[in-house]
Amino acid sequence: YAVKLDPSLADVGVLLEPMSVLVKAWEQIDRVGGRSWFDPQSVLVTGAGPIGLLAALIGSQRGLDVHVLDRAPDGAKPELVESLGATYHYEGFPKAIEAVVPDIVVEATGSEALVFDAMAATGNFGVTCLTGVSPAGRRMNVDAGSLNRDIVLENDVVVGSVNANLDHCTRAAQLLADSDRDWLRRLITKRVPFGDYQDAFHAGSGEVKVVIDIEDA
């Protein structure tokens, strides 16, 4: 799709695509949550990459109590989360759940262990939205009986969400336009000249969004 951006977003326009994914994800959360009683107050986002941080941004804009879990103990990720007025966790999932029983979980890592942890973590009438993609072939032991019992008795829902349509892209452009420009710029933690494009695929764990700059190509 071709979507017109506010001119002030020229240097962060690359965030439109991941933001459109989150617009759709939150739309799915609202729709599936609306099937029953739904008054979310908190969200836990697992993963502080572009998808996770933009999910946290939307949660913050909605006035939710936002918690973000990632492995990086310092650097850009916790700083970006704290700039939203959200809470950052890096000591593992059990520690994060001690701080909040989320009404919503947005899973943005694709880690199979976190996927199942997320399903079991929500409060009653909770919604878990999976946006990360796990590699096939990995096996793990899961207490399927307890997981099924919790989901059924708590009226929980698990939904997967990926990609977006034109409407999502248009709304994403508006959300970006309504967001703090400096915060958005800080999401792009590394810009790589086109001639050094291979460096973009060897980013450190503290990087958020790495962009290949083709302006001088």
pLDDT means per 10 residues, the chain with 217 residues, are 93 96 98 92 98 98 98 96 98 95 97 92 96 87 92 95 94 97 97 91 87 81
Query: Using one digit for the tens of pLDDT, what is the confidence trace for 82-94?
Result: 999 999 999 999 9
CATH number 3.40.50.720 given to 7-160: yes
pLDDT for residue 216: 66
pLDDT for residue 130: 97
Instruction: Look up the pTM and report it.
Output: 0.94
pLDDT for residue 217: 59
Secondary structure of the chain as H, E, C letters = CCCCCCHHHHHHHHHHHHHHHHHHHHHHHHHHHCCCCCCCCEEEEECCCHHHHHHHHHHHHCCCEEEEECCCCCCHHHHHHHHCCCEEECCCHHHHHHHCCCCEEEECCCCHHHHHHHHHHCCCCCEEEECCCCCCCCCCCCCHHHHHHHHHHCCCEEEECCCCCHHHHHHHHHHHHCCCHHHHHHHEEEEEEHHHHHHHHHCCCCCCEEEEECCCC
pLDDT for residue 158: 96
Instruction: Sketch the domain layout of the chain as residue ranges.
Output: 7-160
